[in-house]
Structure 1
Amino acid sequence: MDYELLQKYNFAKIIVREFGFHHEIHWQSKVSFEDLDEETFLREFSWVVLSSGMKNTVIEKKFGPISNCFYEWKSASLIAKNCIKCFESAIQIFNNKAKINAIIDAATKISKQGFANIKKLIGKDPIHSLQKFKFIGPITVYHLAKNIGLDFAKPDRHLQRIASMHNYSSVQDFCRDISKHSGDSVPVVDIVFWRFATIEPDYVNVLYSLNITPNSPM
């Protein structure tokens, strides 16, 4: 990986921090799969399912009220036992039966199998195991994986465009190369470029035209 690409990453990171999103970088850097518990998994799973195909800002406004409908994700068994009540209250806030049912289905599955057993399966084969949950597909599985502390990047259109611009066919390889040289985790590299793309609509051209020399202050 060349010096220029690492400096482009550092530039994007500076912009993200200057726009007040340093807390997202901090959060992602602290997420650990080893420390993953049932509550965190349910919350992150639900976030990924609800945000699939939707703007992040929409889910941010609704996620608090939806969390209330599911007992703040405290217990899969509690959600499973009160699934009708959870569904009826949540559907009033977020009118998508398939997504709400996917959350209830996940809670029921965890309640039956035990979170420790499910976590063990995820640890052994994360991408395959996570896709056994409803609404977790070939793209969203990486979103969920990184949000629960696994070393993956989400290959969304923003990262794919940035990686391709730098002659990478794989988003994972692109983020891992930057991770090795920057000291940041793969998920942190992901969130920096993703947030930069939401801040700067013309992010591809901005990164492409960035004039960087070895003495550039970054």
Structure 2
Amino acid sequence: MKPKKLAWPKYWKEGVRELSASDPILAKIVQRNKEIKLYSHQDPFLTLLRAIVSQQISSLAAKKLSEKILFLISLENCVSTGNLEDNSDASVFLASKSSFRRLGLSQAKYSCITKVATSLKNNKQYWKNIDSFSDHEILSELMRIKGIGMWTGQMFLIFHLMRPNVFPETDLGLLKSIVKNYSLNDYVSARDQLPNLKRQWDPWNSIAAWYLWCDIDPIPFVY
């Protein structure tokens, strides 16, 4: 697996400043976690792989399984150098996909990741220009792949494309952080408050989500 150059959102300082001014509670969360900033690995396949692996399992389990898969991709990349049309991570996965199945991926997740890798290989122009499409257009296209739902698509928007105004409403970690920080009773109360909070955080919902994650996990999982 080739090292990727990390990228940070250009809008970050402006968004943090405006959010902190509009929401005193979030301002305190930012202060507690101000050294941690969202970044992108600049690889659509790896972001989607991490997000698919993370579906319906704990963050800790997702981190461990993702690390195993990424390590195997690195090994397979070394072995297959010169034998593939290209040595992208998606191509490496497709060339050695049976090895990845043995790591503990469910059949459904294995199949979904395979479909993503195939799309990246066969639709290079679309993926090259993906940042030119709207959030809605990208989500609609991604969700045509069986196994990718709204949450997985939103992880892609936040962590790969670094879109500024995305909030995954079904994410239990975010709901947990809202309950904790906004003195609410339970997840139901948090969901009831979300429309108001999202309006308050607009157009920087992605930044709000990031700091809410950071406040319950000092080393948040970067997809």
**Which one has a larger percent helix, Structure 1 or Structure 2?**
1
Distance 1:79 1:166 in 2: 38
Structure 2 counterpart of 1:91: 101
Residues 65 and 93 in structure 1, CA contact (< 8 A), matched pair in contact too: yes
Residues 146 and 154 in structure 1, CA contact (< 8 A), matched pair in contact too: no
What are the within-5 Å matches in structure 2 for residues 170-181 of structure 1?
A: 170=195, 174-175=197-198, 177-178=200-201
Structure 2 counterpart of 1:58: 61
Distance 1:3 1:189 in 2: 10
Q: Are 1:108 and 2:118 matched, yes or no?
A: yes
Q: Percent identity?
A: 14
| Counterpart residue type for residue 54 of structure 1 | I
| Counterpart residue type for residue 146 of structure 1 | I
Number of corresponding residues: 174
Structure 1 counterpart of 2:71: 68
Cα deviation per residue 1:43-100 (whole Å; 9 max; x = unaligned)? 11001000011111112122222013334783433433x1xx323x222222412112
Structure 2 counterpart of 1:11: 28
Judging changes above 3 Å, is the alpha-carbon distance between structure 1 residues 94 and 176 closer, same or farther for their aligned structure 2 residues? farther
| Counterpart residue type for residue 90 of structure 2 | A
Residues 20 and 27 in structure 2, CA contact (< 8 A), matched pair in contact too: no
| Counterpart residue type for residue 150 of structure 1 | R
Q: 2:167 aligns with which of 153, 166, 191?
A: 153
| Counterpart residue type for residue 127 of structure 2 | I
**Once the 2 structures are TM-superposed, how far is the Cα of residue 15 of structure 1 from its aligned partner?**
3.6
The TM-score with structure 1 as length reference comes to 0.64
Structure 1 counterpart of 2:129: 120
Residues 79 and 108 in structure 1, CA contact (< 8 A), matched pair in contact too: no
Distance 1:168 1:9 in 2: 14
* Unmatched segments (≥5 aa) in structure 1: 200-218
Q: Root-mean-square deviation (CA), in Å?
A: 3.4
The TM-score with structure 2 as length reference comes to 0.63
Structure 1 counterpart of 2:153: 141
Residues 143 and 153 in structure 1, CA contact (< 8 A), matched pair in contact too: no
Q: Are 1:46 and 2:49 matched, yes or no?
A: yes
Distance 1:62 1:158 in 2: 19
